[in-house]
Amino acid sequence: MKLVSGLLILGLSTGALAFTKGKTYKITVLHTNDHHGRFWQNKDGEWGLAARATLIDKLRQEAKKNGSHILLLDAGDVNTGVPQSDLQDAEPDFRGMGKLKYDAMAIGNHEFDKPLKTIFQQRSWGGFPFLSGNIYYKNSGELVFPSHVSLKRDDLKITVFGLTTEDTPKKSNPKNSEGLEFKAAVEEAKKFVPALRKDSDVLIAVTHMGHYPNANHGPHSPGDVTLAREVNGIDLIVGGHTQKPLFEPDVVNGAIIVQAFEWGKYVGKVDLEFKDGKLTLKKSELIPVNHKDTKNKLAEDKEMLKLLTPFKKKGDSGLLVQVGDAEGVFSGERDEVRNKETALGALVTEAYKEKFNADVGLTNSGGIRASLPAGKVTYETVLTVLPFNNEVVTATMKGDELKKYLETIITKFPTGGSLGGFPQISGVRINVDKKKKKISKIKVGGKILDPKKTYTVALPQFIAGGGDDYPKLEYVKHGFIDADILKDHIQKKKLIKANDYQDSFYIKWK
């Protein structure tokens, strides 16, 4: 665990001057992000809301003893990742967070894996504010969620505002954001932050935009570093989205930027002092929540377990049925599957291709969210790999159209980044020239591509409709969901071997 401590003076407040002159105020901000359905501990006894509750209670007691005022914030993406949560609309997660008394949460892009009506229901379960200052109803031009909330700590006025990546319609189910407009987050912040700054002693942004060092956001929308550079007066940015831990905060233009990795693996803790309009960073750290190598593990909070156990039992019902066996690990690790072809990508796309007797199976790597481990494969395993409940559709195109489409999606998405657009494909062999962004020597089903022949592609509706910045296609719906197609495919095979899928890799890079 790395720490940052000392007397980093961040500047003078131009706020409402409600504070008492000469008085020192201690503030402790606890933060999490990208929870993704991990309300229960994993198979290794790691993480989970019950252990998080024990840690947060401990930190609250320590803060109270030290005379510090506590804020608890989350930077979004509570939805999607674990079947027991997904099938219950993340009710256990939001009720658990409500029990922890979160002060506010930024809306993440994966909140929109659910319809807006469900998001409002989740807010009711949690009982704390959902914030976003850049999501609008197209018809009325009104904000869908409050942009900010004001919190009093002693006589100190702390304002927390929220922002959401404008890439959300591309990085969630597009149908759930129909009728909404995701305006450029940084530009919207420029409009309302000056007024908030004038009326606040401490100004905190809770954002789901991503931390990109030195503002190098590449194909993504701008993130927290750009926000800090272009919008003056922000004291602290509690971020999420990129799911990278900041063991040391990034201080940009006076703003402290923090992010606590993902899945509740850590609780972030930022200690601040405020005196006479001057804010000072004392310490920032990420505190692990029951990692495998933790010696003195946190006990699970009994009251939280009492709340969550019925949801766990309900979620387990029907999910732990075995559907097959796996020989070797089919890796779905984020940094691997989003940068190269994998056995898991080949397995998934083969399942799509065979289900519809298509020529080509295709998916975006961002739709694959976990590895498929060796050994017994359950329905739960499959739903963890493919948690988005995406319908798989078919599109037809002539050979020359297929070449153009494949060339676009293969050369468009760079490796080395976290963007989920990198394609996993089965049924084709292709030579790729990276520099010229051209493909050649295309074979479909072992035969040279015929420009005039009609080919069928099976792919998730999400990318057929333009998600992850894929070209939009005309497609036919058949009513079959991705995870069910993969489950049936594994049941039919009975045994899947990771090594067998190495030969399915489609690209020869030049």
Residues acting as catalytic residues: 34, 36, 77, 109-110, 113, 208, 241, 243, 334, 338, 369
User: In this structure, are residues 455 and 444 in contact, taking their beta carbons and an 8 Å threshold?
Assistant: yes
Rounded (5°) CA angle 68-282-60: 30
Closest CA to 109 of 73, 162, 40: 162
| Burial status of residue 509 (CB atoms within 10 A of its CB: 0-12, 13-18, 19 or more) | exposed
Helix axes 302-316, 91-99, angle to 10 degrees: 180
Task: Quote the CA–CA distance of 109 and 409 in Å, as a whole number.
Answer: 22
Task: Quote the CA–CA distance of 99 and 125 in Å, as a whole number.
Answer: 10
Q: Where are the alpha helices (DSSP H) in 66-177?
A: 83-86, 91-99, 116-126
Facing residues of 150 across strands? 159
Task: Quote the CA–CA distance of 194 and 209 in Å, as a whole number.
Answer: 20
- C-alpha dist (Å) from residue 278 to 3, 7, 25, 96, 269: 22, 11, 10, 35, 20
Edge-to-edge strand list for the sheet holding 454-460 = 392-398, 454-460, 360-364, 423-426
Task: Provide the 8-state DSSP code for 372.
Answer: B
Closest CA to 353 of 344, 340, 343, 362: 362
The answer to whether the Cα torsion of 189, 194, 199, 200 is positive or negative is positive
CB-CB neighbours of 378 under 10 Å? 17
Contacts within 8 Å (CB) and 24+ apart, 401-404: 402/360, 402/444, 402/449, 402/455, 402/457, 403/439, 403/442, 403/449, 403/451
Element of type H or E holding 279? strand 278-288
Given phi > 0 = left and psi -120 to 50 = alpha, else beta, which region is 371?
beta
CB-CB neighbours of 321 under 10 Å? 10
User: In this structure, are residues 421 and 482 in contact, taking their beta carbons and an 8 Å threshold?
Assistant: no
